[in-house]
A and B are shown apart, each in its own frame.
Chain A
Amino acid sequence: MLFAFLAIYLLTFLVLPVGTMILQGLTNNEGKFVADHIKLLLANPVYVESLLNSLGVAAGAAVLSAVAALPIAMVLWRYHVRPSVFIELCGFLPLFVPPFVLALSLQIFFGRGGALGMLFQSYCDLDPAILGLPSVMLIEAMHYFPLVLMTLTMTTSAYNQQAKEAASLGSGWFRLMTRVFLPLGMPGLAFGMSITFLKTLDDLATPLSLGVTNLLAPQAFLRVSAYGSQDPLSSLIATLMVVISGLAWFASIRFVRQHVAFRNASSVSASVLLSKQQMIVGITFLGGILMLYATAYAGVALTSIARIWSYTLLPESYVLSHYLTAIHSERGSFINTLAYCGFAAVLDVVVGLVMAYAIDCAPPVWKRWLTWGATGLLSVPGVALAIAYLQFFRGIEVPLINQAIDASWFLLPMAFSVRGLPFAIRACSITLQGIPASYVEAANISGRNRFRIFIKIVLPMMTVGLFVAFLLCFGLAAVDLSSAMLLIPSETNAPVSYSIYLNMQSTTGRGAGSALAILSIALVTLSLFTLLVLIRRDWKTVSSFRKFVFTGS
């Protein structure tokens, strides 16, 4: 029965909508395959330019983030500095904070009205508006850089100290890096880069915040806004995005080995004493990165407490009223977020658990293909999925409430759940694999039925893992603006991320929008910290500063 439910879910909310969307872009009104739409797309220089720009910006962001992360990871590895679990988790913050917040924060300083932007205009005659595409690329690279750094650090640290020391005996720095560090780090680097590529390609809010529209995602969005969901060109653009994402992901699979994704270095080897030199290196690099991001987000942080701030380096006076406004006026969006993301995350955990179980039980040959298929879901961009839903569910009425399904909020959590599914499957797989088979066999021999064994033995042992999966999916859904911007039927149904976006677009709402953004970031950090305590299950182990920042004491 569970597998039937799984099949219905995947067919209804993934295979059929995406399939229909692809057909919509490739067929004419009579349902015959024609190349007319492709010709039309290629004949329009705006779309060709958007395609090239999207490829360039996504690839550029992935390469830039890798170029920035590699030397830092090398230094940390060379000096045996292993970040703590908390710092590693913070590396995953970019997945839970929308990049447009960083874009708007930097715009406050460097934009036309910003203090530094004015300085550039006055002294260098440089208009910040001309930095459209490069600024998108830079912001995406900066946003996803911690993710690349941490996946790289985690994969290279997932080998014990002795192995590292053995490798360093008799090897020079360059040889050590090229022969040991890079091959070890390749899976993490490939994973981080491919996630950066996919997320950048799919990002809708960041380019729109910066006024950039000559990219695929904004073009698809603009076409749906202008011509409606049945527009074949928007389907074709969305299909193009699915194809590019799919190719990028499957190209990276060769380098990303399945076991690497969420491996935690600190759990692999025992803690070691950190020397003074290691502490200095660690604090310099990790502290430097922290300072950089604190400065980058300072724009939003200061706006959230600024009464008046224009044409000056810092606000003239400060208030806390934006927070009160945000909490009062955006209560609805908080509730919406909790409802949509909570629903999507619960669904993800249930579906993810069933799929992880199915993959676990599958014969070895199937296992590999199923795992690839499950992670391949990552390559369905939010914009494409939203367009697919709008087309597939158009006009279908919900029986009891007599409302069209595409005019209700229902599609939004379903899109969130499909987008979060690969992460849920991975988290559930790791959790399932963590339960030794002999634990269940011991219970089998004791004479209990399957259901009681699941309830009394398996489920309690999976609690933390399932909670991690829930938080992961919840966080990912909370920042998924690409689907939300297309699927929200009205502003009253908006989640927090959309409200931040809307508020930040207007001068009067900027304070409240910034306050909302800061509150969201604080909530995400708190959730990560809760995760850390859950993983360690002991507050004392994280209460010392050294253990808080580094693995080791």
Chain B
Amino acid sequence: MNRVTIEVRNLDFSYGAKPVLRNINLCIEAGELFAVLGPSGSGKTTLLRLLAGLERPSAGSIRINKTDVFDIPPAQRDVGMVFQNFSLWPHMSVFENVAFGVAEHHRNGTELEKRVDKILKMLDIAETRDFRPDCLSVGQQQRVALARALVSEPRLLLLDDPFSNLEYELRVQMRHDLYLLQRKLGITSILVTHDQEDALSIADRVAVVAHGTIQQVGTPAAIYDFPNSMEVARFVGVTNFLPGNVKHIESQLIEFFSHDIGHHRWPISRDAPSEGPSVLSIRPHALHIAPIDSFRDGRYLWLEGTIRSSEFLGEVVRYQIDIGSVSISVNQAHFTCSSVTPSGTPVLVGFDPSRSRLFPVSAEMSSVSVYD
């Protein structure tokens, strides 16, 4: 299969007067599995439809292997697409559904049959060849949709939230299978999803989309560990936000002050915000709980608080801890027979400043709540 690069430049799209996508710029490498992650209504499916040619952009360009595809209709873009609801034609058998896409180019019946059978076998659904879609399980339907998208050996595979209709176990299985298949075929693929687990677990790179613009592009770990905005930090994973003020002390140290947690200093990082109102973001699993009278390890900054409530989530126990007037979430790993600390217990909460992030707060943002 051809390995193609995708370049999207200054792409805009509006439905009437309502802007849906604004100034989208992306560069997707050949053979990459690229995920577009965003909440409902963020414009991620529209981006996929623009790539497929099902919508026409208001401005900007889309290049596949450096060729502008603006005027190329969907059928000639050589893309395969898996729709969110699979969109299998109910009046056709599995074979007919899959064969429909290739019949135009390969009129030779035997060749067509071989090709369809091969893809059905590859996706482990050969036994469903003559079944109608309504006789298949959801997982099988998804494989048929994937087979239909892949059978014409497209240059680009577009996946519109393909796991959203699946139960958790099947979802994990299908995700893994898709990853292996994509690696085997080496086809450039774009996965659109609202589920961070889907995106972070299999994608080479992820673009986070919100309010019609790309907020950040990076590897899954970079997106999770180093979100570049509160929007991304809030959407990818769970985060505590502590509002306060930042002050630079000499060139090496930064001081964060908040009425709730007091003054704290730590070494300055490259992306530290300038002085002024800021928000300290710490992931719940980056916080530790220790008894109030225990030794305070110098590697961590320690805050004093009281446990308000706890949720048992199986792998972890999530505590809500009141520190001053704010409440933060702390995840503690759970092991067999370990007990849950009761509500009302005073505790120390420690964190490594290098595992936290500081975001500047603009005047506009400071008027809205920053608590997650």
Residues of A within 8 A of B90 (CB): 461
Q: Bound complex: CA of A55 vs CA of B89, how far in Å?
A: 51
Per DSSP, chain A at the interface is helix
Residue contact B89 to A461, C-beta cutoff 8 Å: yes
Given contacts A460-B91, A461-B90, contact A446 B85 (CB under 8 A): no
B75 and A442 contact, CB distance less than 8 A: no
Interface residues on B, range: 20 to 34
Say yes or no: is A257 at the interface (Cβ < 8 Å to chain B).
no
Residues of B within 8 A of A460 (CB): 89, 91
CB distance from B224 to the nearest CB of A (A): 32
A448 near B83 with CB under 8 A, answer: no
Q: Which of B66-102 contact A (CB under 8 A)?
A: 73-77, 79-81, 83-85, 87, 89-91, 100-101
Among A439, A444, A445, which residue has its beta carbon within 8 angstroms of that of B89? A439
Q: Note all chain B residues with C-beta closer than 8 A to A456.
A: 100
A448–B97 alpha-carbon span in the complex (Å): 13
A444–B75 contact, CB under 8 A? yes
Asked if A441 contacts B75 (CB within 8 A), the reply is no
Chain B at the A interface: SS class: loop
- Asked if A45 lies at the interface with its beta carbon under 8 angstroms from chain B, I say no
Interface footprint category on A: 10 to 19
Q: Which of A436, A445, A447 contacts B81 (CB 8 A)?
A: A445
Given contact pairs A447-B152, A448-B75, A461-B91, A441 touches B104 in the complex (Cβ within 8 A): no
Give the residues in chain B near A41, CB-CB below 8 Å.
none
* Beta-carbon contacts under 8 Å, A302-336 to B: none
The 8 Å CB contact of A441, one of B77, B87, B91, is B87
Q: Does A280 contact B (CB under 8 A)?
A: no
A131 in the interface (beta carbon within 8 A): no
A38 close to B (CB within 8 Å): no
Contacts of A457 in B (CB 8 A): 89
In the docked arrangement, what's the CA distance between A444 and B81, Å? 11
Residue B52 interfacial (CB < 8 Å): yes
- For the complex, give the distance between the alpha carbons of A442 and B100 in Å: 10
Find out whether the CB atom of B148 lies under 8 angstroms from the CB atom of A442: yes
Given contacts A436-B85, A439-B89, A460-B91, contact A444 B54 (CB under 8 A): yes
Give the shortest distance, in Å, between B85 (CB) and chain A (any CB). 6
Q: A442-B148, A456-B100 are in contact. Are A447 and B105 (CB under 8 A)?
A: yes
**What are the residues of chain A within 8 A of B87 when measuring CB–CB?**
436, 438-439, 441-442
Q: Which residues from chain B contact A438 at a C-beta distance below 8 Å? A: 83-85, 87
For B160, the closest partner residue in chain A by CB is A438
Known A-B contacts A447-B76, A448-B100, A448-B104; A441 and B152 likewise in contact (beta carbons under 8 Å): no
Cβ-neighbour of B79 out of A436, A443, A445, A461 (below 8 A) = A445
- State in angstroms the CA–CA spacing of A438 and B74 once bound together: 13
List chain A residues, Cβ under 8 A from B81: 441-442, 445
Which B-chain residue is minimally distant from A452 (CB atoms)?
B104
Chain A residues packing against B (C-beta within 8 Å): 436, 438-439, 441-448, 456-457, 460-461
Q: Give 8 new A-B contacts, CB below 8 A, not counting A445-B54, A446-B75, A446-B100.
A: A438-B87, A444-B54, A446-B148, A447-B75, A447-B76, A447-B101, A447-B105, A447-B152
20 contacts between A and B (CB under 8 A): A438-B87, A439-B87, A439-B89, A441-B54, A441-B74, A442-B81, A442-B83, A442-B89, A444-B54, A444-B73, A444-B74, A445-B52, A445-B74, A445-B81, A446-B104, A446-B152, A447-B75, A447-B104, A456-B100, A461-B91
6 closest A-B pairs by beta carbon, nearest first, are: A446-B101, A447-B75, A438-B87, A460-B91, A442-B87, A438-B83
